A and B are shown apart, each in its own frame.
Chain A
Amino acid sequence: MQRKSLSNRLFQFGLICYMLLLSAIMLLPLVNVLCLSLEPNYIAIEPGRLHLIPQKITLKAYEDIFRNGQIMRSFGNSIFITVAGSLLGTLFTAMMGYGLCHTHIKGIHFVSYMILFTMMFSGGIIPSYILVKNLGLMNSLWAMVLPSMMSAYNVILMRSFFRSLPPELAESALIDGCNEMQTFVLIILPLSKAILATILLFYAVGRWNSFFDGVMYITDQAKKPMQVILREILIMSDNVDTSGDLDVGMNVKMATAFVTVLPILCVYPFLQKYFTKGVMLGAVKG
């Protein structure tokens, strides 16, 4: 017994060390970015140092960013895309998910298969590009909202959730004289707050992080989202004066990266509360 518990304890100790190492690998890159963004540029580009704790703290890089019109405008664009995209996406996903539960109504099965098919086969990059062009959405912020507004996966997730609700709920509401719309809005939706929040946050993170749509559909500098502008700033060679008012040093690059990731870090604690549930629901087959 004694030996077994000793080996058990050694096993636990090894496991904890391994997990600490893993956590460090996940966290250190972010700490590195934060540290570089807080240091004056001449220290940030100095070789021969591990930039994990800032040697000298200055907020100059952040001041530069907040004074830069281009960056602030792209920040605004990203906020619009995120808010519009996640609200519309969640609304339509919830409606569709609930509708798809009513499998006895004609055409519902067909619609379900139609959605599942899109998970397997898509037109691809160029056909989507032709479509957006034909719809006249080029250089419109809506080009970053509409084409990826809903995901088949989230619709299925929503449907699985509504199916998991006890059927007596809607039955008794109907008996009490609610019509179908009242049942959905007054009974079903209030019970679905957690899953709605999950899907809203999934969509919001997706929109905030969307980059490819921006590269493809937006060429007007004033309409570009944050991720695209961040990318442009990151690939600038050091110390090239851009639009005349921003010295792009290592510290400014890293500060822009950190500002872009900050909203994610802020919603992350709320997100975490829900997403495990979301992923598990999605795991329900069919």
Chain B
Amino acid sequence: MSTINTSEGLSQNTLSRNGPSRNGPEKKKGKLSGFLQYVNQHKFIYLLLLPGVVYFVVFHYVPLYFLQVAFKDYNIFLGLQNSQWVGLSNFRDLFTSKFFLQAFNNTVILSIMNKVFGFPAPIILALLLNELASQRFKKTVQTIIYMPHFFSWVIVGSIFITLLSPQGGLVNEFLGLFGIEPIAFITSKKWFRWVLVFTDIWKSCGWGTIIYLAAISSISPDLYEVAVIDGAGRLKQIWYITLPSIIPTIIVVFVLGLAKIFNLFEQVFVMYNPLVASVSETIDTYVYQIGIVRAEIAFATAAGLFKNVITVVLILLTNQLVKKIQGESVI
């Protein structure tokens, strides 16, 4: 930081030295040229930022302008400008649509299942990895469990559809060894949500441990020494020292993770099928089906916007809650 402070100091000195002469006779012009001078002085930094700023404006802010479609009776032939404003009528249609309500319901249920089972998984795994005595064994296990994070959902989905197939899939063949009849996991309404939750954990729980392991490694060893003297065993050390020490990290990961809580597209899209759509169609896949496949743009935009607003409200509420309990907010 202070690198920059130095260069700043230099440039501001030059600026103020040049200042008076510029601001002399023509005040109006001076303001503009002062601004240009300032930009010119820091032009390298501004140039560095330029491509990034253009990218974020074009690909992240211009789409926000198109959100107005949600409040219009969008007609692709009339275009955006000429389409009629219809207020909240798209949203009214949304909440009377059986399929949207079903998708909303599924999204909430799947997110809760993902959080309840998927969120603690990397924490527990990190605690256990930390207890391994052999560092080499620990490294090997880490190498293996981080890997699925880098596979695409198309790959993971296809692997599990093959594995769970009732016709010769590895899992059913294995269960068959114990005399269990083949289970059609992928096409069963009873099982499919669990398949989604499990595959999500399979793909991401190893990767999720990294941040917790980093937090654990920064705990002072003195704490453990004292605990050992006081006669605390392994489990007590985990419960009374390790876990409380990483709670701030857990909270940050939880709150930041909320931004993606309702993003249930690729995984569901590559794994679901008509037989289980009623228990797994999420808002994201619904938006895709309605908006892109059936071209009901306005309706789909409204559904997407609704999801995003709910997400932001959820993040802000949780952040407030954390602030109340902890005295410090995450964002």
A residues neighboring B (CB under 8 Å): 4, 7-8, 11-12, 15-16, 18-19, 22-23, 25-30, 32-33, 36, 45-52, 92-93, 95-96, 98-108, 111, 114-115, 118-131, 146-150, 152, 155, 163, 165, 167-171, 174, 179-181, 184, 205, 208-212, 215-216, 227, 230-231, 234, 250, 253-254, 257, 260-261, 264, 268, 271-272, 275-276, 279-280, 283, 285
A272 to B140, CA, bound (A): 11
Q: Are A167 and B162 in contact (CB under 8 A)?
A: no
A47-B167, A95-B48, A99-B45 given; A131·B4 CB < 8 A: no
Q: Which of B56, B170, B287, B291 contacts A150 (CB 8 A)?
A: B56
Q: Are B170 and A15 in contact (CB under 8 A)?
A: no
Q: Are B170 and A261 in contact (CB under 8 A)?
A: no
A18-B128, A124-B308 given; A48·B152 CB < 8 A: no
Q: Are A126 and B59 in contact (CB under 8 A)?
A: no
B interface, over-half SS: helix
B residues neighboring A (CB under 8 Å): 1-8, 10, 38, 42, 44-46, 48-49, 51-53, 55-56, 58-67, 69, 80, 125, 128-129, 131-133, 137, 140-141, 143-148, 150-155, 158-163, 167-168, 170, 173-174, 176, 202, 206, 210-211, 214-215, 233-234, 249, 252, 259, 265-266, 269-270, 284, 287-288, 291-292, 297, 300-301, 304-305, 307-308, 311-312, 315, 331
Most B CB within 10 A of own CB, among A23, A26, A227, A230: A26
Residues on A with beta carbons closer than 8 Å to the beta carbon of B153: 209, 211
| Shortest beta-carbon contacts, A-B, top 5 | A123-B63, A96-B52, A124-B304, A209-B152, A170-B3
Q: Are B210 and A118 in contact (CB under 8 A)?
A: no
Q: Are B300 and A126 in contact (CB under 8 A)?
A: yes
CB distance from B4 to the nearest CB of A (A): 5
CB distance from A198 to the nearest CB of B (A): 13
Q: Which of A174, A181, A216, A283 contacts B7 (CB 8 A)?
A: A174
A126 to B288, CA, bound (A): 8
Q: Are B67 and A231 in contact (CB under 8 A)?
A: no
Q: Are A26 and B158 in contact (CB under 8 A)?
A: no
Residue of B whose beta carbon sits closest to that of A36: B162
CB distance from B275 to the nearest CB of A (A): 14
A28 to B202, CA, bound (A): 12
Most A CB within 10 A of own CB, among B128, B152, B153: B152
Residues on A with beta carbons closer than 8 Å to the beta carbon of B52: 92-93, 95-96, 99, 111, 115, 150, 155
